[in-house]
Structure 1
Amino acid sequence: MEETKPAKRKPVFKKVDQLKPDTKGHTLVVKVVSSKMVLQKARPDGIQVRQMRIAECLVGDETGTIIFTARNDQVDLMTTGATVILRNAKIDMFKGSMRLAVDKWGRVEVTEPASFAVKEENNLSLVEYELIDVNELANAGAREVTS
């Protein structure tokens, strides 16, 4: 019997303004507006010492911007002005705001320079979200109806 691999799905490219909290599996083409190293420290890993690097990069497209958290090798790719494709990106919540990240299941790749201008006025990472308990909300609604 010959096994057939399922055909790879064509990526559905999203725009920055379509991103929502706690979602994953996004593919985006963005430009790097700025990049700032926030953590660089050595971490013992068995015999050798590995560098752990984290940079916060403002990335965006013609619909808006968001902070992308680049880790280790990703930091080198996130140079100001570069156009990158983020594959299988996810939204992490950090102190109530959205951050874009690509973990080991995704990929960051530098691509041809894009022709769009980044809309910096719409920064999704500046929007603060509040976590609410849905069950508590439902119970409060039920109490209002019965009284």
Structure 2
Amino acid sequence: MAESKTLRKPIFTKVDQLRPGTSGHTLTIKVVNTKMVLQKGRPDGPQVRQIRIAESLVGDETGMIIFTARNEQVDFMKEGATLTLRNAKIDMFKGSMRLAVDKWGRIEVAEPDSFKVKEDNNLMTFDHQPTPDGVRIASEEENLLW
């Protein structure tokens, strides 16, 4: 008979610990707001599959970041919702970090939490520029010059 594997407890990451190019994050976040970026296809038309992409401002008590929600994930992104993201990753878009969950990850509705999102630590305001030594994070003042 096959041995049963015991599941490990997930190690939760905070938003301020996220870095470019990393993956496998488990986070508990709150949705601050959501904006639909792309919606294609009609459910009643010949194209059955509808493509939806939304950008949601999400965060925890350490900071905020944009989450890119695709298709069914958009339904979870309701303002004020508390969610657990499993196996989340960081994608780069125009020099800014974006949090995402692909087919290997999962989004779950979590119990409402009492933490307040720290809005003054916005991870999108930093420009993450690749260098030969790794990634240089431009200061907020440098970003304002763009």
TM over 0.5: yes
Return the alpha-carbon distance in structure 2 between the equivalents of residues 22 and 125 of structure 1.
Answer: 15
Task: Report the alpha carbon displacement of residue 75 of structure 1 after superposing the two structures with TM.
Answer: 0.3
Q: Identity of paired residues, percent?
A: 67
Give the match for residue 8 of structure 1. 7
Give the match for residue 28 of structure 1. 27
Give the match for residue 58 of structure 1. 57
Give the match for residue 38 of structure 1. 37
RMSD: 1.6
**Is it true that 1:19 corresponds to 2:18 in the alignment?**
yes
Return the alpha-carbon distance in structure 2 between the equivalents of residues 9 and 97 of structure 1.
Answer: 32
Q: Rg: which structure is higher?
A: 1
TM-score, normalized by length of structure 2? 0.85
DSSP 3-state at the match of 2:52:
strand
Give the match for residue 108 of structure 2. 109
Return the alpha-carbon distance in structure 2 between the equivalents of residues 122 and 88 of structure 1.
Answer: 23
For 1:108, give the aligned amino acid.
I
DSSP 3-state at the match of 2:74:
helix
Task: Report the alpha carbon displacement of residue 41 of structure 1 after superposing the two structures with TM.
Answer: 0.5
Return the alpha-carbon distance in structure 2 between the equivalents of residues 134 and 11 of structure 1.
Answer: 31
TM-score, normalized by length of structure 1? 0.85
Task: Report the alpha carbon displacement of residue 42 of structure 1 after superposing the two structures with TM.
Answer: 1.7
Return the alpha-carbon distance in structure 2 between the equivalents of residues 116 and 92 of structure 1.
Answer: 26
Task: Report the alpha carbon displacement of residue 63 of structure 1 after superposing the two structures with TM.
Answer: 0.3
Return the alpha-carbon distance in structure 1 between the equivalents of residues 133 and 12 of structure 2.
Answer: 31
Structure 1's unaligned 5+ residue stretches are 136-147
DSSP 3-state at the match of 2:127:
coil
Structure 2's unaligned 5+ residue stretches are 135-146
DSSP 3-state at the match of 2:59:
strand
Give the match for residue 82 of structure 2. 83
Give the match for residue 67 of structure 2. 68
Q: How many residue pairs align between the two structures?
A: 131
Return the alpha-carbon distance in structure 1 between the equivalents of residues 113 and 34 of structure 2.
Answer: 18
Task: Report the alpha carbon displacement of residue 88 of structure 1 after superposing the two structures with TM.
Answer: 0.4
Task: Report the alpha carbon displacement of residue 61 of structure 1 after superposing the two structures with TM.
Answer: 0.4
For 2:59, give the aligned amino acid.
G
